[in-house]
Amino acid sequence: MVLPHISHMAQAYPNHRGLKVNSAISTLFLLLLLLIIPRPITAECYTSIFAFGDSLTDVGNRVILSDDPNSFKISHPPYGETFFHHPTGRCSDGRLIIDFIAEYYGLPYMPPSASVMMNGGIKASDIEGGVNFAVTGAAAAHSAFYEERGIIDTTTNCSLRVQMGWFKQLLPFFCGTPSECHEKLRSSLFVVGPIGSNDYRNGLSQGKDIKEIRSYVPIVIDTIRATINDLIELGAKTIMVPDTSPDGCLASVLTDFESSNKVDYDPTGCLNWMNELNDYHNQHLQQQLDTIQYCNPGVDIIYADFYNISMELYRHSEKYGFIRSLAACCGVGGKYKFNDDVRCGDIEVKSCPEPWLHIDWDGYHMTAKANILVSMALLDGTYTSPPINTLCAPSMKFTYYD
């Protein structure tokens, strides 16, 4: 399995030996910089994007919602260093997948819903390009479900149900009458996820065994199903639903669940049992999405295969310009450069000098370069079902690959 076209992009970055790229590659890199800058479009495809999920999609909500924003690691450098040049509340050194999707369709970066709702006088013009409701640390299922099972998350309860509540609160400001809302939402792209990893990892970190954690999967999937059905009832026509990424390849997971048993690892060095849990979730998700699609033939339900795109990068890291390593770029200590007590964002922790050579940013999240490679594989259509590029024409095309 090969990611479409993206090996060409990997060459647009300097390699780890410090060699200079040739003039042709330099030209491609300049084209990349030009083509990923948002620009006005003449023929609109999606007029807005609304996103829900966890830290892979959060553009600032977790920080804004906190009583003490400075207490969060993501509020401090080196987060945001390679693009925004300051922390934005995104869990990466630069842009997220949701940012690249917005750029691709010629739309502005979505504001975090918390900043909009705390603004007081909400203007339709402030949210006409969409809103991002995702929150770092969010689980799909409500916290009450986990509390009944002895799993306590003291950091956040911004579940999918909570995020949907925020969306419904903002809806009257986005559109007026029900018919107007129906029309506007039909021309919007909804991204529900990724979400689910926190549902499973929170329990595992608190001592629950894998058999019990697997029993949560139907609850998580049902929560995602209910969210999608709510959106359809409100008028949504195009809904992208990403699956869970391979958590068994994350530096934090590899550190917390390190094993002396070689059979626990795949040839890439990722934890088999964790990735099997993600795959179990993803299979159930696909089945549920097929059912929703069958019941709603006038709606486009797009399955986004984050898992296999990410595994392609991990398995063939050098081909895409990465150092062959599962270690975090921004972290300290141990085989995987991760220590939960001293993490990225702490003053004594520095990022690696060339983040674009790494897949893993901080032990939990990908670098901006990995994010753009995943984004491009999605938008190419190969890793979405149905192919997203067959549903509408983007505002810009990555013609530098041709």
pLDDT at 69: 78
Q: Does residue 6 belong to any structural domain of this protein?
A: no
pLDDT at 395: 61
Which residues lie below 8 Å from residue 19, measured CB to CB, with a gap of 6+? none
Q: Does residue 22 belong to any structural domain of this protein?
A: no
- Asked if pLDDT for residue 186 goes beyond 80, the answer is yes
86 is catalytic: no
Rounded CA separation 344/351 (Å): 8
- Asked if pLDDT for residue 35 goes beyond 50, the answer is no
7 is catalytic: no
Rounded CA separation 284/306 (Å): 15
One of 362, 375, 380, 395 is an active-site residue; which one?
Answer: 362
The one-letter amino acid code at 338 reads F
**Considering the entire predicted model, what is its pTM?**
0.88
The one-letter amino acid code at 299 reads V
Q: Does residue 149 belong to any structural domain of this protein?
A: yes
Higher per-residue confidence, 138 vs 39:
138
**What would the pLDDT profile of 91-131 be if each residue is shown by its tens digit?**
999 999 999 999 999 999 999 999 998 866 677 777 889 99
Range of the domain at 220: 45-392
pLDDT at 34: 37
360 is catalytic: no
Instruction: Quickly state the pLDDT bin for 15 (edges 50, 70, 90).
Output: very low
One of 55, 115, 159, 317 is an active-site residue; which one?
Answer: 55
Contact, 102 vs 108, CB < 8 A? yes
Q: Does residue 36 belong to any structural domain of this protein?
A: no
Q: Does residue 401 belong to any structural domain of this protein?
A: no
Q: Of 61, 68, 164, 158, nearest to 118 (Cα)?
A: 61
Instruction: Quickly state the pLDDT bin for 21 (edges 50, 70, 90).
Output: very low
Contact, 372 vs 100, CB < 8 A? yes
CATH no. for residue 171? 3.40.50.1110
Instruction: Quickly state the pLDDT bin for 179 (edges 50, 70, 90).
Output: confident
One of 284, 365, 375, 380 is an active-site residue; which one?
Answer: 365
Q: Does residue 153 belong to any structural domain of this protein?
A: yes
Contact, 241 vs 306, CB < 8 A? no
**What would the pLDDT profile of 147-174 be if each residue is shown by its tens digit?**
999 998 766 789 999 999 999 999 998 9
Q: Does residue 28 belong to any structural domain of this protein?
A: no
Q: Does residue 4 belong to any structural domain of this protein?
A: no
- Asked if pLDDT for residue 29 goes beyond 90, the answer is no
Number of domains, the chain: 1
